[in-house]
Amino acid sequence: MPLTMARPTPLAFDKAKIVAQNRRARFDYFIEEVFEAGIALTGTEVKSLRFGDGSIAESYAEVKNGEVWLVNSNVPEFSHGNRFNHEPKRPRKLLLKEREINKFHGAVERKGMTLVPLSVYFNGRGRAKVELALAKGKNTADKRATIKDRDWQRDKARIMRDHG
């Protein structure tokens, strides 16, 4: 009987359809590590996300009682939903391995890091996933340096295109 081994995790996540992105997160935080987490949703939430509705602009994740919760994410009510429609801003449980949850808990408690969702998407198998980052906040000077570097990269590309 052959031994079965766990499938290695891919370096890049399979994002078949991106529903929501938090573009400001890369500007406001230093991204240390990125994880893929499943998300526990109700039926009308899935339908609403499949239509492309949803926002994670002001959301964050927190570790509570050994579980990770996505807080303040907005999935609007499904237009054809009935009385069983969901609450738009309810906390949603993220599905992670216990080892990852312990890692998050330690980083948030000891190192003062934050769990920031970068995007919500459907993978190739049609499952809703959240790209979750372990991040450290930037101060104003760091943000200015980021803007300066971004502008220089843009100018450098323009110069190379015009004179190259």
Any domain includes 4: no
Query: What six digits make up the tokens of 78?
Result: 């499904």
pLDDT digits (tens, 9 = 90+) for 119-156: 999 998 889 999 999 989 888 998 899 999 999 999 99
Is residue 130 within 8 Å of 94, Cβ to Cβ? yes
Any domain includes 88: yes
pLDDT digits (tens, 9 = 90+) for 66-98: 899 999 998 888 877 777 787 888 899 999 999
| SS3 of residue 68 by DSSP | strand
The alpha-carbon radius of gyration of the chain (Å, integer) is: 19
Q: Which residues are paired to 30 by β-bridges?
A: 136
Is residue 20 within 8 Å of 131, Cβ to Cβ? no
Any domain includes 80: yes
Any domain includes 27: yes
- Look at the pTM and tell me if it is higher than 0.75: yes
Any domain includes 12: no
Any domain includes 145: no
Residue partners of 15: CB distance under 8 A and separation at least 6: 119, 121, 122, 123
Q: Structural domain tally of the chain?
A: 1
Residue 121 or residue 5, greater confidence:
121
Say what the alpha-carbon torsion angle 10, 15, 19, 21 is, to the nearest 10 degrees: 50
Distance CA 135, CA 116 (A): 7
DSSP secondary structure of 101-131: HHHHHHHHHHS--EEEEEEEEE-TTS-EEEE
**Confidence class for position 1, pLDDT limits 50, 70, 90:** low
pLDDT digits (tens, 9 = 90+) for 10-44: 557 778 788 989 989 888 899 998 999 999 988 88
Is residue 40 within 8 Å of 129, Cβ to Cβ? no
Domain hosting residue 64, numbered range = 17-138
pLDDT of residue 10: 57
Query: What six digits make up the tokens of 92?
Result: 């949603």
pLDDT exceeds 70 at position 117: yes
Any domain includes 110: yes
